[in-house]
Amino acid sequence: MIASVAPGVPVADISHLVPSYDIERGARLLESAIPYYPAGSVHLGVVDPGVGTPRRGIALRSERGDVCIGPDNGLLIWGVERLGGVSEAVELTSDSHRLRPTSQTFHGRDIFSPAAAHVAVGTPLTALGPTLDPATLVRLPRPEPEVTAGGRIRARVGVVNVYGTCQLDLAESDWNRSGLGRPSSVMVQVGGWTWVVPYVRTFGEASQGDPLLFTDSSGKVSLAVNRGSAAKRFGLEAGAWVGLRPAEGSPPG
């Protein structure tokens, strides 16, 4: 569809591996990858279990100039906010910028791809439909970590990647809020279990099969097992909560 509307425009896939219906996983993937695309790119996202219902199709221009196109279900807004926030938003209603007849179940093909291709060749967003108020955009909940003075933290597992590494909704800078700074070793609590895990810079600082905490390439605190799966070893999946507190000088337990 893109090649039909915009021949020669290069297409670079982020991923086709987002689990079915998992809007949050798609939103996090877009958010983490989008800063590394060239400024002004057009980003097409389709995780769309509500296709054909009254949920809106949208195009959002970011302050950096990129445009994100897809369903209004929370998939796009975090990515746009990583690029400075929304500078322009429209609902995709134009009959002349979609495939006709339009199916009820495949808007990725019929509405979103053609819209992205039109934008890529210079069509202004206002041609695609009426302006909408960014305050009305659908947002997914995103619980903040709970950080207490004294260094106790509760944080949510945001993403489990293909390696089983668990990215927490916790920035390295959040440790400063605890008043203790970045610890070198952390007591990690999941359910009734507690582990002492070294907080290192990279995987290879732990022995093969051993656990580690590190600050990942997005600046998030992550729990991993060197050449293994933290998700399996700690029994974690996206949405689970993990307890953390510095372990320096304190015995485990």
Residue choice 64, 163, 171, 172 for contact with a copy of itself (CB under 8 A): 163
State the minimum distance, in angstroms, from the CB of residue 173 to a copy of itself. Answer: 14
- CA–CA gap between residue 191 and residue 231 (Å, rounded): 14
List binders of a copy of itself among 107-136 (CB under 8 A): 109-110
Amino acid code (one letter) for 176: N
- Minimal distance, residue 63 CB to a copy of itself, in Å: 18
State which of positions 139-158 bind a copy of itself (CB under 8 A): none
Peptide bond into 10 cis (omega under 30): no
Pick the closer one to a copy of itself by CB: 178 or 215: 215
Count the neighbouring beta carbons within 10 Å of the beta carbon of residue 202. Answer: 12
Which phi-psi region, left, alpha or beta, contains residue 121 (left: φ > 0; alpha: ψ -120 to 50)? alpha
**Residue 7 binds to a copy of itself (criterion: CB under 8 A):** yes
> Which residue, 111 or 147, has its beta carbon nearer to a copy of itself?
111
Contact (Cβ atoms closer than 8 angstroms) between residue 182 and residue 199: yes
> What contacts 24+ positions apart, CB below 8 Å, involve 246-250?
246/151, 246/178, 246/180, 246/183, 246/185, 246/186, 246/187, 247/183, 247/185, 247/186, 247/187, 247/196, 248/183, 248/184, 248/185, 250/187
CB–CB of 115/98 below 8 Å? yes
Q: How far is the CB of 33 from a copy of itself (least distance, A)?
A: 9
Choice from 11, 121, 127, 140 touching a copy of itself (CB under 8 A): 11
CB 148 to a copy of itself: min, Å: 28
Asked if residue 12 binds a copy of itself (CB under 8 A), the reply is: yes
Hey, which residues between 38 and 97 contact a copy of itself (CB under 8 A)? 38, 49-53, 55
Residues forming the site for a copy of itself (CB under 8 A)? 1, 3-4, 7-8, 10-12, 20-21, 36-38, 49-53, 55, 99, 103-106, 109-110, 162-163, 201-205, 214-217, 226-227
